[in-house]
Structure 1
Amino acid sequence: MRVSVLFPVMPTDPEAVVPFASLVRSGQAARLWQGQSLSADTHQVFAYLAGRGYRVPVGTGVVLMPLRHPVDAAVQARSLARLTGQPMVLGLGPATPDFVTGLHGKPYDSPRDACLSYLTEVRRLLDAETPGGAGTVGLPGMPHPGVEVGLGVLRPVLAHAAGRAADVAISWMTPPGYVRDTLLPAMARGAAAADRARPRMVTVVHAAVDRPHRIPYRLAYTAAHAHLAGPHYTDMLRRAGLRVHHSQPNLGARALVDSGTFVYGSPQDIAAQLAEYGRAGVDEVVVNTAGVYSEHGHPDAVRDLQDILAACREQQPAPVP
């Protein structure tokens, strides 16, 4: 299992992302991820880093489909692959019905069908790279290291859709047992229905190192209260066995910590808990220090990542001679 890092907030200054990119460039982490940003644009921040010499593997986990036409999504993704010189992961998500309505006047009739259509079109554009025929648009050929098209998944319906159409499935705040028992089987069924291989699984995990003057419940609330107020996230967590409700994000934060979904402890403890995701079938885990970043600042968040990544390397089995 690869271990990657997430820049945990919407950046306003791309220089703030440089220490996170350094963790990837130095080989401590596998990939640098960002989510959707309505401040400095996610793709442009990655391009800035490439121009600064940080030509590292990047991924979006996730950017929102209603903000971009599939043509623009494909152009942006392959541009980043070319600029970084590395395969890029374009993680996409359908957004909430209210967000879609605010942009397009009404929600998707079926988020699943919208995701399947969007991912299929982006993949067509990336693969064809030729002028479109009547009624279609194509892209001119341009060599690049490649783009994996990903889909954000929380529940079985979109996990099944990812199996049918995505190269990567990206989950957020999903306990390892839930990934193993719910998401991966749904993805496998979708892949079998489309006669294709199951996508690889990427999971974003909240984590914080146990240090003086830190309160894990407060860190979890700071990091996740917006998601814990979302019915789709709390529905997923209830399916995973946590006692949560979107009207009580403070209690949801306690449940995250008590269940180990928000991973808190020594770097060695965190590395051991992250390894559970690998045993559950996760191919890449993305460490998210949002709580520390917001409560204690940028340097402390980077320090946590450095210590967690070092502990993960220490726990890797020695190569067989």
Structure 2
Amino acid sequence: MTELSVLVPFVPGRSEQMLPYAAMVEWSTAHRLWQGQSVVLETHQAFTAAAGAGFRVPVGTGVTLMPLRHPYEAAVSARSLALATGHPVIAGFGPGSREMQTGMLGAPYESPLTMAREYVQVVRGLLDGEEVQVDGRYLKVHAKLPPVRAPRVDVGLGVLRTGMARLSGEVADVAITWLTPPHYIRDVLWPAIRDGMARSGRTTPPRLVAMVPVAVERDDDPVQVVLASNSAHLQAPHYLDMLRSAGVDVPPGDLAAAARGVLETDAFVAGGLDDVVKKLRSYADAGVDEIVLNVTGVHKVHGPRAGVEDLKNIIHAAGGGL
């Protein structure tokens, strides 16, 4: 069964803002609470604060950015979350955009795939209790974490295109997609993942987690909800390249047309409640193990109560899974 999880649909500025979403995971059939990179209230600290408030739920970071965090500190932070929550953690990582890499490092990675390979190698090795000895193109790490009994941490990669999908099939525990149409996951990403598995001799595939922007139909134009949720993605070169590869019509400079394109291909799932659940099932049919419901657009356009209402209604209508 494909599990349903919840993404915090905003960047919190206070720890108590996390609690309604942690409570939803605690008290419903939702599987896990997710949050992406935050440079306001830092993601790991926000999850730990929720655990300290009594909501010790499974969590995932999808994704935090490699230029901001040394892999040793990334392993410590991820394992700390497992200790604080008492549950297995998914620690997802991504190299970020070229502009972000340049701003943090002075220049972009010449090979984001090489960096991602080295980063996963170091983090996975540290979490497995190994004496890591990596002398790579980007990372030189000779270190070991002090041993402690903790729930498992699975290491994930943010996956948009075939290169990172292939790499996740080689080295990652989890592949995490964002704004990727279900047919693209089925027809493009999964074959690349399997190719990576074959290259490494791996027999068990990584779990596939899809972050899916979603909105239950209201008396408004869904295009505006899409733009409130994903306007930045619809202008980012790596997202545009992925969407065009998926056959989505994303004309340069025409955000409204791009929004219509992601709606038409169910990269953004919208409609009546029954339609939303039906469209989410297409992700399950495409081989997705965990769907993370992202109501950011609803939250921004209609307010937090509407976003929570959509989450509750979708989870209830789906019976907790698909």
Q: Same fold (TM over 0.5)?
A: yes
Partner of 1:60: 61
Partner of residue 178, structure 1: 184
Aligned twin of 1:3: 4
> What corresponds to 1:222 in structure 2?
228
Name the aligned partner's letter for residue 182 of structure 2: P
Deviation string, structure 1 residues 151-182 (Cα, Å, up to 9, x no partner): 00000000001111100000001011100010
Alignment check: 8 A CA contact 2:36 2:62 kept:
yes
Number of the residue aligned with 1:93 = 94
Contact 1:132 1:139 in 2 (8 A): no
Counterpart in 2 of 1:191? Answer: 197
For residues 37-73 of structure 1, give each alpha carbon's deviation from its aligned partner in whole angstroms, at most 9, with x where no partner exists: 1110000000000001110000011000010000000
SS in 2 for 1:20: helix
Q: Which residue of 2 aligns with 1:319?
A: none
Q: 1:33 to 1:314 in 2, by over 3 A?
A: closer
Partner Cα separation in structure 2 for residue 227 and residue 131 of structure 1: 36
Alignment of 1:3-152 (within 5 A): 3-128=4-129, 136-152=142-158
Structure 2 CA distance, aligned partners of 1:76 and 1:19?
23
List gaps (5 residues or longer) in structure 2. 135-139
SS at match of 1:123: helix
Tell me, yes or no, if the aligned pair for 1:231 and 1:245 is still in contact at 8 Å.
no
- Say yes or no: does 1:162 pair with 2:178: no
Once the two structures are superposed, residues 184-217 of structure 1 have per-residue CA deviations (whole angstroms, 9 ceiling, x without a partner) of: 11011111111122211000111111123x3201
Instruction: Quickly say closer, same or farther: Cα 1:130–1:54, change in 2 above 3 A.
Output: farther
Judge conservation of contact 1:129–1:142 (CA < 8 Å) in 2: no
CA change 1:272–1:236 in 2 (3 A) is same
Identity over aligned pairs, percent: 45
Contact 1:225 1:250 in 2 (8 A): no
Q: What code does the residue aligned with 1:72 have?
A: E
- Structure 1 186/3 Cα, relative in aligned 2: closer, same or farther at 3 Å? same
Match of 1:203 among 203, 210, 217: 210
Tell me, in whole angstroms, the C-alpha distance in 2 between the residues paired with 1:315 and 1:105.
44
Change (3 A) 1:159 1:131: closer
Contact 1:200 1:283 in 2 (8 A): yes
Amino acid at match of 2:14: D
Q: What SS does structure 2 have at the residue aligned with 1:28?
A: coil
Note the C-alpha offset of 1:107. Answer: 0.8
Task: Please say if 1:262 is aligned against 2:262.
Answer: no
- Of the three residues 277, 293, 311, the one matched with 1:271 is 277
C-alpha deviation, 1:245, in angstroms: 3.7
Distance 2:296 2:186 in 1: 25
What letter is aligned with 2:212?
V
Summarize the alignment of residues 220-259 of structure 1 with structure 2, pairs less than 5 Å apart: 220-259=226-265
Aligned-residue offset at 1:249: 2.2
Q: 1:28: Cα distance to partner?
A: 2.5
SS of the counterpart of 2:291?
strand
Indicate conservation of the 8 Å contact 1:154/1:174, yes or no: yes
Alpha-carbon shift at residue 22 of structure 1 (Å): 1.2
Residues 312, 246 of structure 1: alpha-carbon distance in 2 compared, 3 angstrom cutoff: farther
Q: CA 1:82 to 1:235, structure 2 compared with 1: closer, same or farther past 3 Å? A: same
CA contact (8 A) 1:31 1:57 kept: yes
Shift of 1:261: 2.0
Coordinate RMSD, CA, aligned = 1.7
Question: TM-score normalised to the size of structure 1?
Answer: 0.94
Contact 2:8 2:35 in 1 (8 A): yes
Look up the match of 2:295: 289
Give the residue type in structure 2 aligned to 1:109.
E
Measured in 2, the distance between the counterparts of 1:217 and 1:294 equals 13
Change (3 A) 1:135 1:287: closer
2:40 match: secondary structure:
coil
